[in-house]
Structure 1
Amino acid sequence: MEKNILKLKDIKKSYPVSSGILSLSKATVKAVNGVSFEVIRGETLGLVGESGCGKSTLARLLTGLESPDSGTLLFRDKEYKDWSTSQRGTMIQMVFQDPYSSLNPRQRIGSIISEGMRINKTGSTKEITKRVEELLIQVGLRPEYSKRYPHEFSGGQRQRVAIARAIAMNPDLIVCDEPVSALDVSVQAQVLNLLKNIQKEFSLSYVFISHDLSVVSHISDRVAVMYLGKIMEIAKTEDLYKNPLHPYTRILLDAVPIPDPTLQRENINIPEDMPNPISPPSGCPFNPRCPKAIDICSSSKPELVETESGHSVYCHLY
């Protein structure tokens, strides 16, 4: 059995952008700009970063909703583009951010969950119906809910339906794009625990995308920090949270609220907005906002180097 179920090498994705009154001026946004990492079978890789850093674009690349401009994307040591569409559906599934818009309001829950099974003809109608009922039980819902419509459920229940749909085809990898950000805090914990239980039961791998570092620390085995289409740092969760190396990672962690009003952190003043992705800065993309930037940071791009076992950082300071 292969150790790495997914491997990305120098993946890039750009989008053309029109500007000007007559939209005559063309520019390019590099949403994903040379991303490389691996996902080990059975692990959860957390992906964090500010809005606009390229996380969701990367999710769409992983699930085949978008195709990379260049680079190599391997699944089970075979190029992803070489798998057929039906094979991709049985290998990788996705849980979207908004449980209200990710489910077809005109379909009953049973039809939503069974769609992949019906398309791939994985069993008779009776067998598929039974499988749907089993899936609903596994995600904490009643079997009779299969006859209801999405509008009859709460946000947390809809996300459970989305998870049932994602595991229906027994995939190896599930990409979770902000799956709990639209839910109440108490419901978030329930859904996260459900994801962890399902992972153990089905030996799943997750790519868990979020801007909430406290959520990521709860569910992830390793964490990758993304900024302007680049991976700034990647390490085991415990190592990253105890010993963040990149200044950007440290700033993200310092921004996490402390649940104790008597404790205070030193405020780090940096420009609030990211640079324009249409014309990113030269050198390290974080250098205009970095409190520890040196001369070389603005003139030369660093390399993602491994400073210790399993801990890599994209920074000239190392």
Structure 2
Amino acid sequence: MTTNILEIKNIKRHYPVSSGILSLSKATIKAVNDISLEVRNGETLGLVGESGCGKSTLARLLTGLESPDSGTIFFKGKAFKDWDSSKIGTMMQMVFQDPYSSLNPRQKVGNIISEGMRINKTGTRLEISKRVEELLVQVGMRPEHAKRYPHEFSGGQRQRIAIARAIAMNPDLIICDEPVSALDVSVQAQVLNLLKKIQTEFALSYVFISHDLSVVSHISDRVAVMYLGKLMEISPTEELYHNPLHPYTQILLEAVPIPDPTIQTADVSIPGDMPSPISPPPGCPFHPRCPKAMDICKETPPMRKEIKKDHTVFCHLY
């Protein structure tokens, strides 16, 4: 039986906002709005959606950087609130989107990678130094790079350093928040292959967040599609790409460019703009832009429906 390393149940995260000179008018941004999801041991769960749909907020909730307003997050079968914060910090790490701002420019690479080990006193100074050198080699760097500063490296090399820092404490789960979106295309493939290699060596689970469906298909075992703070569809990767059920997923996949200039493709776009998360539409949040919307979509939120094994959709069409 497959076990889940991470499970979230009905979590919400809303942010109050004020407007006007006296800040009297208050509203709420519904960044994450009632999401339930699980991450299985050893798998890579891809999380995709347009910018502003709540992916990064969900990532911060999953790592404990923020707390949900309601709902529960379980890690290894135990609720977050029952874990010691320092303990869970060693078992779960995050790789951020921007390798230029995620590393402290005033610290040498060796200090950046070893910070967690030094705080948790996992060995002597010599043992930690040797461990840093081993980690650098594992991510494709050289041991002497530990004595340099982040500004001396390229974007791809900095992301390798960030990955070395993430695996330094032997975590069980890594949240990757668009880890290759700021890199050149040629470097993206190298970093993705490194992540897959590290996953095998360390028996890791990943949550891989991206807006690039081509990248997600390369690395993910399952994919969850998110829109305006809610989930639209969850499916094994191959099944999703060959048999997308939700109209939003279908449009996203049709819009993926084909890297062949001899193939003519239709100009695919989603009509209209994404509604504001301050006042999301009632019913299905995608209905104002959905070409297959029905009257029920405008009033009633769709329930979770498992169409076939592991393939779930939130849509009134099914």
- Judge same fold: TM > 0.5, yes or no: yes
Same amino acid, percent of matched pairs? 78
Partner of 1:83: 83
CA distance in 2 between partners of 1:272 and 1:90 (Å): 43
Could you tell me how far 1:266 is from its partner in structure 2?
3.7
Could you tell me how far 1:22 is from its partner in structure 2?
3.0
Gaps of 5+ in 2: none
Per mean C-alpha deviation after superposition, the further-off stretch among 252-261 and 89-98 is 252-261
What is the DSSP-based 3-state SS (H/G/I as helix, E as strand, rest coil) of the residue aligned with 2:262?
coil
What is the DSSP-based 3-state SS (H/G/I as helix, E as strand, rest coil) of the residue aligned with 1:57?
helix
Partner of 1:56: 56
- Deviations, residues 224-251 of structure 1 (Å, cap 9, x unaligned): 0000110100000000000000000011
Could you tell me how far 1:305 is from its partner in structure 2?
1.0
Is 2:238 the counterpart of 1:238? yes
Kindly report the root-mean-square deviation, in angstroms, between the aligned alpha carbons of the 2 structures.
Answer: 1.1
| Displacement over 6 Å in runs of 4+ | none
Could you tell me how far 1:311 is from its partner in structure 2?
0.2
Partner of 1:165: 165
Amino acid across the alignment from 2:124: S
What is the DSSP-based 3-state SS (H/G/I as helix, E as strand, rest coil) of the residue aligned with 2:129?
helix
CA distance in 1 between partners of 2:261 and 2:117 (Å): 51
Is 2:23 the counterpart of 1:23? yes
Partner of 1:102: 102
Amino acid across the alignment from 1:140: G
What is the DSSP-based 3-state SS (H/G/I as helix, E as strand, rest coil) of the residue aligned with 1:182?
coil
Partner of 2:213: 213
CA distance in 1 between partners of 2:263 and 2:253 (Å): 15
Cα distance change of structure 1 residues 313 and 2 upon mapping to structure 2, 3 Å threshold = closer
What is the DSSP-based 3-state SS (H/G/I as helix, E as strand, rest coil) of the residue aligned with 1:288?
helix
What is the DSSP-based 3-state SS (H/G/I as helix, E as strand, rest coil) of the residue aligned with 1:59?
helix
CA distance in 1 between partners of 2:124 and 2:204 (Å): 26
- Deviations, residues 111-157 of structure 1 (Å, cap 9, x unaligned): 00000000000011011000000000000000010000000000000
Gaps of 5+ in 1: none
Per mean C-alpha deviation after superposition, the further-off stretch among 155-164 and 80-89 is 80-89
Partner of 1:149: 149
Partner of 1:193: 193
Residue correspondence of structure 1 range 7-46 to structure 2 within 5 A: 7-46=7-46
Q: TM-score, normalised by structure 2?
A: 0.98
Partner of 2:306: 306
Partner of 1:296: 296
- Deviations, residues 7-66 of structure 1 (Å, cap 9, x unaligned): 011111000011224321000011001111111110000000000000000000011110
Per mean C-alpha deviation after superposition, the further-off stretch among 63-72 and 2-11 is 2-11
Aligned residues: 318
Does the 8 A contact of 1:109 with 1:161 survive in 2? Answer: yes
Partner of 1:204: 204
CA distance in 2 between partners of 1:22 and 1:247 (Å): 42
Does the 8 A contact of 1:303 with 1:315 survive in 2? Answer: yes
Amino acid across the alignment from 2:229: G
Q: TM-score, normalised by structure 1?
A: 0.98
Cα distance change of structure 1 residues 60 and 81 upon mapping to structure 2, 3 Å threshold = same
CA distance in 2 between partners of 1:32 and 1:303 (Å): 17
- Deviations, residues 261-285 of structure 1 (Å, cap 9, x unaligned): 2333344454341011111101000
CA distance in 2 between partners of 1:28 and 1:49 (Å): 21
